[in-house]
Structures are given as C-alpha cells and as structure tokens.
Amino acid sequence: MRVIIRKNAQAACVTAARLIASLIHQKPDAVLGLATGGTPVNCYAELIRLHRCGELDFSRVTSFNLDEYVGLPREHAQSFYSFMHENFFNHVNIDPSRIHLPNGNAEDLTKACDEYEQSIACAGGIDLQLLGIGSDGHIAFNEPGSSLASRTRVKTLCHETIRDNARFFGSEAAVPRLSVTMGVGSIMDARQCLLLVTGEKKAAAIRSAIEGPVTSQVTASALQFHRFATAVLDEPAASWLSRKSHCDFAESSMPDPDEILR
C-alpha cells in the first residue's frame, strides 16, 4: 500500500483531491466511488475549487456512494444523499443522472442492494474508490466481523459507530441502527482505492489497517490485498505507524501528487 503522510488534515485532503483530479484528467468519464463523513469534506472542497478554476470537468463522471442509512428520508439533513449534495454535487457540473447512492428507503432492500451492484457493473466498475476509516476499523459501514467477500447489503451499525456519528445527530438515540452499505468485496473490486484518514483518534485504527494482520475485525485491513491502494494520512493519524519513516522515505522518490494542477 502506498502511504502518503501530510502535515495536517487540510494538506491530506488536498493531496487526496489531486489524486482524484489526476484520474479525471486521464479518464474524463471516470467512475468514482465516493464517501461521506467529516474527513472528506475538505477533499470535496478542493475538488470544487479546482472545478471553479476551470481545471476540472465532472460532466462525464459517474459516481456511486458507499453507503446510506436505512429509513432516513432522503431530505433529512443527515442522510448521505443530503450530505453529498450539500458538500459536493450541488457545486460541480456532475450530471444528476450519473449520481448513485444506495437507497435506504427501498421497500425491498435486498433487491435494491442487488440492483446497486448491477448498476456499478453496468457502469464498467469503479475506477477509484474514496474511503474513510471508522475508529472501529470499518470501511463504509462494514463493521468488525463483516465478511471480507461481502457485497452491498443491510448492515447493523456497531455501538462505536453510533457513538462516533451521534455528533451529527445530536444524540446516540437519534442515529439510525441500520445501513445499506457496499461490501468489502464490492470495494475491493474498485480498480484503485484511496483511503483518506486524519486526526489522532484514527491513529490506532489506521495502524491496525496498514500494519496489522488482515482480519474481518478491522475491515480496512482487507486493503492490504488490493493491487492499487493508497492511504493519505495526516501526521496525527500516522503517529502510531511503526514504519512511518520508511513511508516518508519511499514517498520522496515518487512523483508528488500535489504538483498536479499547480
């Protein structure tokens, strides 16, 4: 796994955005897998900035989001549908018909999950999947114990995730208990994975994901088996890595993603 370490969260977000921009330059009709949460907000802000400068065109881009809460109306302020529109889609020229999010309100959730997998396949698969990590080591809502071969399905949130996300809902009681999430297997099918992690409270989780054994107890660790996975971390998130200095040394001989579009 390529590990890029930046001084602070803002710099990490800019680097992740530049890696995404670079892909869109190479492939204007790229299929992006997108993520929600506090971490990627400034990555989306940088993509919006590049778009506004005339550097980035999303008109042919297709997107698939990782997950959505079950039973939360789309219009709810904390739905991932609302999050994505407020923080990204409303500010770039992506074609609304190319935007996809799992439907947490489908009458038949199992059927909707299967159809979501089919739409990803019909779009030709995901070129780049943006990911965050939960403090319990999850990617998307693949909580500890999720099968590493899992596909899009309904998943119950762990207490740690409910506690972490309570900050968005005002209380733990208000956080939905169920989600629809792409599986670890669905994520591993992406041609490229980009894991963006910031803040010291994620240091233990990212250390387990990058340096620990591959285990369903830390679903992000499955990325160790991915052929093209990049982790972009800030210093606090990287602070528990035992091979941090090697990551910096290896990176010094790589082209700097920040130079793209400078």
101 versus 124: smaller Cβ distance to ligand PGA: 101
Size of the site for ligand PGA (CB under 6 A): 6
> C-alpha 89: how far from its chain's center?
15
Least separation in angstroms between CB 41 and ligand PGA: 8
- What's the DSSP call for residue 98? G
Whether 95 is catalytic:
no
Least separation in angstroms between CB 78 and ligand PGA: 12
97 versus 240: smaller Cβ distance to ligand PGA: 240
Q: How far apart are the first and last CA of the chain?
A: 25
Whether 256 is catalytic:
no
Considering only the stretches 36-44, 75-83, 103-111, 116-124, report the one whose residues sit in contact with ligand PGA under the rule CB under 6 A: 36-44
Instruction: Report the site for ligand PGA in 127-186 (rule: CB under 6 A).
Output: 132-134
Put residue 10 in one of left, alpha, beta given phi > 0 → left and psi -120 to 50 → alpha. alpha
Distance of alpha carbon 250 from alpha carbon 74, whole angstroms = 44
- Pick the catalytic residue from 51, 68, 127, 138: 138
Residue 67 corresponds to which tokens in the numbers above? 């997950």
Least separation in angstroms between CB 199 and ligand PGA: 7
50 versus 220: smaller Cβ distance to ligand PGA: 220
Distance of alpha carbon 98 from alpha carbon 89, whole angstroms = 11
212 versus 261: smaller Cβ distance to ligand PGA: 212
179 forms bridges with which residues in the sheet?
69, 155
Least separation in angstroms between CB 241 and ligand PGA: 18
Whether 143 is catalytic:
yes
Confirm or reject binding of residue 206 to ligand PGA (CB under 6 A). Answer: no
Considering only the stretches 34-42, 46-54, 105-113, 171-179, report the one whose residues sit in contact with ligand PGA under the rule CB under 6 A: 34-42
Whether 159 is catalytic:
no
Residue 78 corresponds to which tokens in the numbers above? 């904390």
Distance of alpha carbon 192 from alpha carbon 170, whole angstroms = 35
Ranges of beta strands (E only) in 37-144 are: 62-65, 67-69, 99-100, 128-131
Q: Which string of x and - marks every residue 37-66 that binds ligand PGA (by CB under 6 A)? A: xxx---------------------------
Q: Are 192 and 23 in contact (CB under 8 A)?
A: yes
> C-alpha 207: how far from its chain's center?
18
Q: Are 14 and 259 in contact (CB under 8 A)?
A: no
By the criterion CB under 6 A, which residues form the site for ligand PGA? 37-39, 132-134
Residues with catalytic function: 67, 136, 138, 143
